[in-house]
Amino acid sequence: MTPMFPGSRHRNALLAAWPRLLPQLGRRLGVAALLFLGFVAPVLLTLELTHLGEQGIRVERDLQSVVTELHVQDGWEWRVISGRENARAGQGPINASRARSDELLARAMDEGLAADAVERVRAASHTYQVAVDQELRLLTVGRWAEAATFDESDVDPAFEQAQTVLATEGSLVAAHSARALQYSNAGPAVMLLALVTVSVVQGRRRRISVQHEAERAGEARYRTLIDQSSDLVLVTDRDGRCVFLSPSAERFLSTPEGVGAGESPQAVPFDLLSVVDPQDRARVAARLHAVTPERGAELELRLVGGHGTRRFAVSVQDLEANASVGGLVLTARDVTDKLLMLGELEQRALHDPLTGLPNRTLLTDRMDQALIADHGVGTALVLLDLDRFREINDTFGHHHGDEVLRQVGPRLAQVVGPDATVARITGDEFAVLLPRTRDLTAAISAAAALRATLEIPFLVDGAVLDLEASAGVVLSGLHGSDPSTLLQRADIAMYVAKTDARGVFVYDPELDARIPSKVSLLGDLRRALEHDELVLHYQPKVSVRTGAVVGVEALVRWEHPTRGMVAPDDFIPLAEHTGLIGPLTRRVLDLALAQARVWADAGRPLVVSVNLSARNLVDDVLLGQVVGLLAEHGVRPELLELEVTETAIMTEPATARQLLEALSRLGIRISIDDFGVGYTSIGQITSLPVDELKIDRSFVTTMDVDPDNELIVRSIVELGHNLDLTIVAEGVETEDVLTALATVGCDVAQGYHLSRPLPVAAMDAWLDAHVAAPTRIRDLPSLRVVPRPRRYGDRQEAHRPE
C-alpha cells in the first residue's frame, strides 16, 4: 500500500527507534552541558567580572578627579575672599572647574556609577556651588564682613559635606571593583589548568596596571595641586625638622629673612621653629608634640619670610604611620590680608569715618558694658549739640566745618580722661559716656566742663571760629537702665537745652507731660529708626499726554506704636534739626530701592523719587550710601530720582552742585522740587545737572481759576522745555486743573485727583486698575502737545532718556 504522504515511512521508522535513541541523546547533551559549565561559562564569567572590576577602577579614578576639581574651586574661592583676586576674576576659573566636574560625573555614570550615587554627588556639589556664588555676590557689592561670616557659616560646611559624599561614594566603588577583580581571578576548579593560570595572571596584571595608572594619575593631580597652591605645605617631625616643603613654602622661605640668600630650604637642614615668630614658638612646639592620628590641630602662627612677618592659619595632621609620608603634615594658609581687611571693616563699622571717633554702634556697646560693670555706682551720658556749627559751614564752607568736627573729639577727650568714651553720633552731635559717675552733681559738672572747652575758639586755616554747645544729661538708675532709654532721654534733655538756651539740662521724668509733643517724639524717632517703624507710601506720577504712569514718589510715614500714624510734618523737621536726617534718609532710600527692585522683577520698572533735605546735600556719606544701596538691591541708577528744593541747593551751592553732579554721572535723575518759590536763578539751573522741574503746588492748585497762577505755570513750562527738562505739576486735585495743565503743555501730573499716597499693596492694585483704564484728559479742540522724546513723562517706559 502506497503511503499517504511522502516520507511517512522514515517517520514511522524513527518513531519505532525513538525508545532506543533517547538514552543516547541524553548522555550526549549532558556531556555538552558539562563541557559548557566547566569550560565556557567560567571563561565568560571571568571576563565579565574582570570588565566590571576595571570599569569600577575607572569610575573611582573619575571621582578622584572630581575631588581634585572641588579643591581647585576651593582654592579660587579662597583667593577671592582673601582679597588676592576680585570676584569677577575668580568666577571664570571656578565655572571652568565646575564644567570639568560635570563632564567627569557624566563619564562615571556612563562607566557604571549608579544613578542614585551620581545624584548624591551632584546634590552636594550644587549646595557648595550655590554657597560660593552667594559669597561672590556679597563680595562684588563690597559686603566683606557679611561675606566672611557667610564663608564660615555656609561655604566651609558645604565644602566639607561635598568632600564627605565624594569620599563615601569613592570607597564604595573601590570595594566593589576590588571584589569583582578578586572573584574574576579565582576561577572554577573544573577549568583547565592552563586556562585558569592565564586568566589569573592576566586578571592580576590588568588590575595592577589599572590601579598603578590610577595611582600615577592621582599622584600627578595632587602634585600639580600642591605645586600650584598658594598654601604652604610642609612635612615635619615632632621637633619641627622639615622633610618636605611645597614650592610655595620654598618661595616664602628661600629669602635672606628666611633660610638664606639664594639657598633652598630643601638643600639645607631646615627647622620650622626657626622661622616661627619668637612669641609663638613655645606654643607651636607644644602643639606639634600633642597632635595624634585621631586628633589633629588647628592653630594660628606668624612666620618670618622675605616680605616680613605674615600670619597663617595652620592645620596639622599626624601621618607618621603612613609610609609614603612619615611625618606631620602642616597646611598653612596666609590670612594676613584677610585679618587686616576684617580689622578695617570692623573699624569702619564701629567708628565715624570723618573724625575716627566711636560711632553710635560702638557707643551703645560700651554703654552696655558700663551698665553691667557699674554695680550701682552710676553711669552718666552727656549728649552735646554744636549750636553755631551751621553758621561756620555757611560762612566758611564745608572744609572748615569738617576740620572743626575733627578737633572736637580730642578736646572733649582731654576733659574727661581715658575711662570715658567720646563718640560722634551724627552731624554736629557728640556723646560722652562717663562710667562710675556717682551722682548728678558730678555729671552736671562734667557737662559744664565739656561745654567750656568747646567755647575756646577753633583755629582752622588761619580763621578763628567760635562755637557753642547745648548739653543734655542723664544718669543710669535715675533716668533709665538700658542704652536705648538713656539715649532717648538724653536726646530730649539736649533738645530742651538747645531750644530754651539753658546750656546744660538734666532730663526730668515730668518732661513728657510738660514739653510740646514734638519734643517728646525725638527719642521715639530714634527708636523708630532702629525698630523699622518707618514705612513708605507711594504717589503715582502720570503723563499728561498719554495717561501712562511714568514714576512714583516715595513718601515716608511713621507707624508709631502708641500714637498711630505720625504726619511727616511732625517728625521730618525734628530729624533735620537734631541730626537724625542722615539715618532717616538712608532708611527711606533703602526701602524705596527694595521696592523698585520688586517692581522691576515683576516687569513693571518705575522711576522712584526720594526727597533730600539741605543737610543731606552737605553729608559726605550720602554718595557712598546711594551707590552701596543701588548695588545691594541690584537697581539700575536710572530708576532712582532724587528731589531737592531750591532752598536746599542755595544753602551751600558749591557743595550741593558737586554732590548732584556726582549723582547725575551715575545715571540718577535729579529733580528740583517746589520750583517757583525759592531763589534759584536761571543761570544756576542751567549749571546744575537737572532733569526735571516740579512746579510748586501753590501755583498749580488754583491755576484753572487764577490767571496769575496760570501764567506762572505756563512760563515755567516754557522755560523748562527750552532747557529740555521734564515739567511736573504737583497738587493736581481736580479734572479742571489737569485739563489746564494739558493746555499749557505740562508733561507730568501728580496729586490727589489721580491718587493719594498709597501703601505698597494699594499702590499695586491702583497700578493694575490704571493699566486697564488709564487716566484720560477730556478732548480739547485747541490742545497742542508737541512730543518731546527726551522727557520721560512722554514715554510709556520709566527709563532715563538717552
- The pLDDT tens digits of the residues spanning 690-739 come to 999 999 898 999 999 999 999 999 999 999 999 899 999 999 999 999 99
Q: Which three cell numbers stand for residue 573?
A: 523737621
The neighbouring-strand residues paired with 694 are 728
CA pair distance 251, 257, nearest whole angstrom: 12
Q: What is the pLDDT of residue 633?
A: 93
Query: Rg (Cα) of the chain, in Å, rounded?
Result: 40
Are 750 and 539 contacting, i.e. CB atoms less than 8 angstroms apart?
Answer: yes
- Helix 41-81 × helix 156-186 angle, to 10°: 160
- Alpha helix locations (H) across 351-397? 360-373, 389-396
Residue type, 94: I
Report residue 545: phi and psi, to 5°: -80, -45
Mean pLDDT along residues 474-479? 91
Q: What is the pLDDT of residues 371-398, one digit of tens each?
A: 988 766 789 999 999 988 877 876 787 7
The answer to whether the CB of 142 falls within 8 A of the CB of 87 is no
pLDDT score of 550 more than 90: yes
- For 16, other C-beta atoms within 10 Å of its C-beta total 9
Q: What is the pLDDT of residue 779?
A: 43
Burial of 91 per CB tally in 10 Å (0-12, 13-18, 19+): middle
Separation between Cα atoms, residue 451 and residue 449, nearest integer Å: 5
Cα-Cα-Cα-Cα dihedral of 612, 614, 619, 621, to 10°?
0
Top mean-pLDDT range of 282-286, 386-390, 560-564: 282-286
pLDDT tens across 438-470, in order?
Answer: 889 999 999 999 999 999 999 998 888 988 899
pLDDT tens, position by position, 613-653: 888 887 778 888 999 999 999 999 999 999 998 777 876 67
Count of residues making up the chain:
802
- Confirm if 691 and 669 have CB atoms less than 8 A apart: yes
Residue 279 pLDDT grade (very low, low, confident, very high; cuts 50, 70, 90): very high
Percent of the chain scored above 70 by pLDDT? 75
How far is residue 208 CA from its own chain's centroid? 51
User: DSSP 3-state assignment of 645?
Assistant: strand
Write down the mean pLDDT value for the chain: 78
- Residue 285 predicted with pLDDT over 80: yes
Rounded distance between C-alpha atoms, residue 526 and residue 776, angstroms: 44
Beta strand residue intervals within 345-445, DSSP E = 380-386, 421-426, 429-434
Query: How is residue 687 written as a grid cell?
Result: 549749571
DSSP H helices, 300-335, are: none
Q: How confident is the model at residue 682 (pLDDT cuts 50, 70, 90)?
A: low
